[in-house]
Structure 1
């Protein structure tokens, strides 16, 4: 015999209930001997509980009750629910008159859900000429008198079950009500929430069934709740002990007591999907073929109670007093953790027992309060428990560190005696994100990195296209899933939780919405997005004002915008302090040298204690092209400048390049990497624009380029033989002091020198150190271009993912 159990979602009106009937009919036609255990249909139990509360509070409930009845009857014209509906009418009327109800009355109310479900399925099967027999489990399962969470009396219950199935056997399909039972006085009791699973396992035990098949709305047991973790993986096999851990620690597909009756008889349990007949589900047996972490389970509807006091230090028996006092009121503690100083003890109880638990402990520790040994007993209700089943403490640092980096600070954690299960208490608002962070870390699936890209001009747009083109290959090679969930310009943002596609540019125009930064932050929070990175491809000082907010809300930063690093030194220090405080990273390799590994090299040299004495080079790819070409070719300066403009090497207004501020900012960034406290006003900049052309509209300047010819032709002609012009940045002086000397200037260098041999739009940097003496470290390569810069930003993003 097989015992089949169907959950509430499987029995909902429409496709659900019809599919259940089809499954039972199919098994009967195949000659299988089965017994069927049913939950209440759909949200029946919750609805009955809600109506009960309204009746107690003397609120209008009649309309809600009529809607409930209508759903139960639905289109099933021949069903007779007169007795059940009359029972509910009387019970609710009595509760309304008294303004209260007992647990005994509540059990009577809730029991009607399973009765209605079983009677309906029995009738639908009989209409198909199947020998179905309605079986009220109150005549089978006998319990103690603990209403709401009754414990079965095994011998009586087993005898009743065996006797009943002897009378109703052969071709009979017994349709049994789950969840409900009766005590010795024949009063209705219930087996606790999700108790229908318990009913099914008891029947399987008593009847020594070949298998218990639990039909639900999912394909089996997953590594995490798939409703909360999109990347959850179905587990093919589990052992009883593993399943028991999952059940105890909140796996809502199992009841905590379901596994024990099955272990006693070695009866396999298979979790199946009512709506997917092809799926084999998850099989739970005495052995498991797999090792390691099995699943993440969640306990909700719990509260954290903290007991704190200086007098707890070194005092024996505090834990015993807590457990004794709570046990006296039947309050169970699921998790407890004590600080190393013993000044604080935290533990988890059911949320509906939290107030009573606090009151009990206040009474128990009344004398300790007077002596000020105990200072406070507090309740924190908005919490959830995540249990990592199979987690070894030796590798627990990985998920723990990942949580911290996502600004999720566990309130409490402990591990079991075996050291194979770890439980964390987190804020309920952080549950969803915490699950995704932990799951991605411990199951070695692709780690999801959620990117918000600000600015989608030449660099930003190229970056987005590079990410979309490379994403699948990166996921395959590195198990890193790059998900661009936000693309924003100064006016609009496109938000896509699961990532933008190749048509992103049109979508920004067509469906992008006006926004403030808080809208993107709220979107990330509302959708529980983890591993957040904000990518700044703007050139805006205004946007850098958002950096501190982004860091505070859990974003790492990647930026091609060099403004933030060149604002006041006070802001520079404030930004670094915020990064350290929030354990965030800020990468900006493209701030100097586009995609060249300059900043990383300088950081490593400086960190290793190497004394850098000078940094000199051609910092601007635009000006590199301008003076390389002008020095080599017999052409007018204005002609070469116009060519650079036409090729997109300069800004639309080339004065932004020619004024030298861009090179000055880059030089200042390098100075600050050496812990120098220079400000931008300390940079001595040779402005290449004649004073009379520095103001006015860009169009006026562009029409006056010829005015530059005589100036620079003269400079060119005054050079020594075999020399060329280079516009350089030079950081020098005693760099061990608070400030260095920063010069940005046009110089003439020998054509044979390293600076003189630079070609095209390349940049070159010479790094002089004590160890290397007169021979500098030279870094040279493409110093401009949207593709090169975008690739550098992309590299920073990937470096950040590795650090995570």
Structure 2
């Protein structure tokens, strides 16, 4: 005989009940010998509890009672007399509670038992009506328990004898027994209940008592998963579990089974299959059995609404019996303890309890240690509420470091970490608001799912737009090559922003253009927190002087930073150093390779040389791709300077106002950035800058300046004519002096160099950098390549994003 157990959602009015009847009919048509165990239908138990509380408080509403009856009778509306006696008895109980204004646990069990009784009798009537002979079996006729009302313990030996007598008749006839789950009775006939998910436990006991072939547990889920799919989209379905693994999962919070469900099945080696009522007959489900091949499953279990009770008693060092007093007080108060943390029992400890027990736990402990409070031997007893416990089944502590590091990088700091005596399971206690993020992070580490990186991109100009499209175009390749899924969850310009936790797609420009949400950094950070997004990176592609003021705010709220904006790295040294401090305190990274040399690996090279102890003595180069283009072409072409400048502007090499480039400030900022990579404390005001714009044109309007470009020609013709033979003009930045001191000498100027020199051989808009070191003497390390252009810069920013992602 097979035991089929149906949960509350599987028997709810509508599709659930219809599907359950379908399954039973299918089983009988295939000549299967079956026994049915049922839970209360839908939300019946909750409704009964609410009616009971209302009766106790004298707030009885006849309308609520009528609604309850109508809901129960809906599947058998034409046969209301079937449940008439149950309704009369139930209402008498409520009347008594209303009169006494109180109820005992015994009365509560009597009332809640009607959920399963009504469910079983309804199902029996529907089966008989479909010509499938069925008979109601009240579990109280065979399932004998002690008198712990609300959480009774079955007496299995006597229960099994009674059960075998009752079920003997069903082996000889084609009648389907429909058994009430969740309930039993004392030897005196008093109704008891088995506690949370007790119907699963009842079904396992029935399976054991009748020596069933298998227990099939029909629920609203597809079986057991590596983690609750409602919390983690990438949850993995587990096809097979051993009894031991399933029992571990139940002990650590798997809520689709009673914590004792597995034990009766182990006794008779009866497999358990968890199936989805709503998925029909052809489904895999999860098989739990004694077969231990192909197992060693890893999974995450979650327990919510927990509190940490903290006991600090530094003055009790060396005193015997503190543990006994501590746990004895909790035991006498009926407080169950979960995770335990002890540095030294006489100095302090922390225990995890249900949040509903936290206040009681603190009160009884303060009472127990009242005298120790007076003598100052105990400093504090308090609780930390709103916690969750995540248990990693199959994870050894020695392998937990990756998950732990990933949590810390995402600002999820466990309050406690504990492992079982076997060492095969790790539990962590975290704050409730971190639950979703922590589950996703740990699950990704356990199963090597694609790492989820969440980007917020600010600035949608030429570089920003190019970067967004590069990322969207490369998503699939990065998942395959790097096992990293980069999602853009936020895009913002100076006026509007769009947000999507699932990732913004290729129509982002249209979305942003039609967005109604105003650009607001605070709202964006709030959105990331509310949606528990992990591995956050803020990408600054603006040229804003004010946007960089938000860098510290981003770091403090869990964002790493990537920037093509040069402003921050050239702010006064105290602001620059303060961000470095904030980044360090929050374990965040800040990459800005494109600040100098666009996509060239310059900053990283200088960092490595400096960190390795190499003494860099001088850095010299053509820092500006736009000025490189201008002077490369002006030096060798018979074209006026103004025409070359217009040409560079039209190609997008210069800023819209070319004076941003010609002033030398951009090159100066880049030079200062490199100086600070060498730990120099130079300020922008220390740099000697040759401004290439005549004073008469420095302060006019942009359009006026553009219309007067010809005024530059005479000056640059004279410069060109004064060049020595085979020389060319180059606008260079140079860092020199004793770079072991606090400050170096920084200079930006226009010079002539031999055409054959490395600086003279630069072509197009390329940049070139000569790095002189003590070890290499006068033979510099030369880095040369494309130093301007949206594609190159965006690709460099993309590279920084990937580098940050690797450390997530």
TM-score of the two chains, using structure 1 as the length reference? 0.97
Structure-to-structure mapping, 1:421-460, within 5 angstroms? 421-460=425-464
Moved more, 543-552 or 352-361: 352-361
Alignment partners' CA distance in 1, 2:576 and 2:390: 39
Alignment partners' CA distance in 1, 2:574 and 2:48: 62
Does the Cα contact within 8 Å between 1:111 and 1:180 map onto a contact in 2?
yes
> What are the superposed Cα offsets for residues 175-217 of structure 1, whole Å, 9 maximum, x if unpaired?
1121122222322211111111111111111111111111111
Q: Does 1:52 align with 2:55?
A: no
**Alignment counterpart, residue 115 of structure 1, candidates 114, 117, 128:** 117
When residues 83 and 793 of structure 1 are mapped into structure 2, their CA distance, relative to the original with a 3 A threshold, is farther
Aligned length: 804
**Alignment counterpart, residue 178 of structure 1, candidates 177, 181, 184:** 181
Indicate the residue corresponding to 2:34 in structure 1: 34
Q: Does 1:252 align with 2:252?
A: no
> What are the superposed Cα offsets for residues 626-662 of structure 1, whole Å, 9 maximum, x if unpaired?
1111111111000001111111111111111111111
Does the Cα contact within 8 Å between 1:235 and 1:294 map onto a contact in 2?
no
SS in 2 for 1:391: coil
Alignment partners' CA distance in 2, 1:45 and 1:587: 56
**Alignment counterpart, residue 82 of structure 1, candidates 74, 81, 84:** 84
Q: Does 1:595 align with 2:599?
A: yes
Indicate the residue corresponding to 2:313 in structure 1: 309
Alignment partners' CA distance in 2, 1:631 and 1:293: 70
> What are the superposed Cα offsets for residues 559-607 of structure 1, whole Å, 9 maximum, x if unpaired?
1111111112111111111111111111111111111111111111111
**Alignment counterpart, residue 143 of structure 1, candidates 137, 142, 145:** 145
Q: Does 1:216 align with 2:184?
A: no
Indicate the residue corresponding to 1:527 in structure 2: 531
Structure-to-structure mapping, 1:486-565, within 5 angstroms? 486-565=490-569
Alignment partners' CA distance in 2, 1:612 and 1:558: 26
Please state how far the C-alpha of 1:141 moved relative to its aligned partner: 1.4
Please state how far the C-alpha of 1:468 moved relative to its aligned partner: 1.3
Please state how far the C-alpha of 1:314 moved relative to its aligned partner: 4.2
Alignment partners' CA distance in 2, 1:777 and 1:314: 65
Please state how far the C-alpha of 1:70 moved relative to its aligned partner: 3.1
Does the Cα contact within 8 Å between 1:613 and 1:769 map onto a contact in 2?
yes
**Alignment counterpart, residue 478 of structure 1, candidates 475, 479, 482:** 482
Alignment partners' CA distance in 2, 1:155 and 1:606: 77
Please state how far the C-alpha of 1:362 moved relative to its aligned partner: 2.0
Does the Cα contact within 8 Å between 1:292 and 1:391 map onto a contact in 2?
no
Alignment partners' CA distance in 2, 1:538 and 1:55: 64
When residues 339 and 61 of structure 1 are mapped into structure 2, their CA distance, relative to the original with a 3 A threshold, is farther
When residues 606 and 99 of structure 1 are mapped into structure 2, their CA distance, relative to the original with a 3 A threshold, is farther
**Alignment counterpart, residue 586 of structure 1, candidates 577, 586, 590:** 590
Please state how far the C-alpha of 1:32 moved relative to its aligned partner: 0.6
When residues 43 and 562 of structure 1 are mapped into structure 2, their CA distance, relative to the original with a 3 A threshold, is farther
Indicate the residue corresponding to 1:685 in structure 2: 689
Does the Cα contact within 8 Å between 1:297 and 1:387 map onto a contact in 2?
yes
Alignment partners' CA distance in 1, 2:375 and 2:105: 39
Please state how far the C-alpha of 1:313 moved relative to its aligned partner: 3.4
Please state how far the C-alpha of 1:259 moved relative to its aligned partner: 0.7
Indicate the residue corresponding to 1:188 in structure 2: 191
Does the Cα contact within 8 Å between 1:594 and 1:789 map onto a contact in 2?
yes
Alignment partners' CA distance in 2, 1:64 and 1:682: 81
Indicate the residue corresponding to 2:71 in structure 1: 71
Alignment partners' CA distance in 1, 2:71 and 2:569: 64
Please state how far the C-alpha of 1:617 moved relative to its aligned partner: 0.8
**Alignment counterpart, residue 225 of structure 1, candidates 224, 228, 252:** 228
When residues 340 and 403 of structure 1 are mapped into structure 2, their CA distance, relative to the original with a 3 A threshold, is farther
**Alignment counterpart, residue 767 of structure 2, candidates 763, 770, 786:** 763
Please state how far the C-alpha of 1:678 moved relative to its aligned partner: 1.4
SS in 1 for 2:761: coil
Please state how far the C-alpha of 1:397 moved relative to its aligned partner: 0.6
> What are the superposed Cα offsets for residues 150-196 of structure 1, whole Å, 9 maximum, x if unpaired?
11111221122211111333312111121122222322211111111
> What are the superposed Cα offsets for residues 437-478 of structure 1, whole Å, 9 maximum, x if unpaired?
110111111111111111122111111111111111111122
Please state how far the C-alpha of 1:61 moved relative to its aligned partner: 4.7
Indicate the residue corresponding to 1:3 in structure 2: 3
Q: Any stretches of 5+ residues in structure 2 without a counterpart?
A: none
SS in 1 for 2:225: coil
Does the Cα contact within 8 Å between 1:218 and 1:273 map onto a contact in 2?
yes
SS in 2 for 1:482: strand
Does the Cα contact within 8 Å between 1:237 and 1:289 map onto a contact in 2?
no
Structure-to-structure mapping, 1:273-288, within 5 angstroms? 273-277=276-280, 278-288=282-292
Alignment partners' CA distance in 1, 2:642 and 2:213: 91
TM-score of the two chains, using structure 2 as the length reference? 0.97
Indicate the residue corresponding to 2:167 in structure 1: 165
SS in 2 for 1:53: helix
Does the Cα contact within 8 Å between 1:293 and 1:391 map onto a contact in 2?
no
When residues 43 and 587 of structure 1 are mapped into structure 2, their CA distance, relative to the original with a 3 A threshold, is farther
Alignment partners' CA distance in 2, 1:768 and 1:646: 36
Alignment partners' CA distance in 2, 1:464 and 1:341: 55
Q: Does 1:742 align with 2:740?
A: no
Please state how far the C-alpha of 1:722 moved relative to its aligned partner: 0.9
Alignment partners' CA distance in 2, 1:99 and 1:661: 82
Indicate the residue corresponding to 1:300 in structure 2: 304
SS in 1 for 2:778: coil
Alignment partners' CA distance in 2, 1:572 and 1:152: 69
Does the Cα contact within 8 Å between 1:598 and 1:779 map onto a contact in 2?
yes
When residues 454 and 481 of structure 1 are mapped into structure 2, their CA distance, relative to the original with a 3 A threshold, is same
Does the Cα contact within 8 Å between 1:2 and 1:209 map onto a contact in 2?
yes
When residues 591 and 96 of structure 1 are mapped into structure 2, their CA distance, relative to the original with a 3 A threshold, is farther
SS in 2 for 1:648: coil
Does the Cα contact within 8 Å between 2:271 and 2:288 map onto a contact in 1?
yes
Alignment partners' CA distance in 1, 2:362 and 2:258: 27
Moved more, 39-48 or 152-161: 39-48
Does the Cα contact within 8 Å between 1:620 and 1:783 map onto a contact in 2?
yes
Indicate the residue corresponding to 2:24 in structure 1: 24
Does the Cα contact within 8 Å between 2:659 and 2:693 map onto a contact in 1?
yes
Alignment partners' CA distance in 2, 1:549 and 1:89: 60
Moved more, 30-39 or 51-60: 51-60
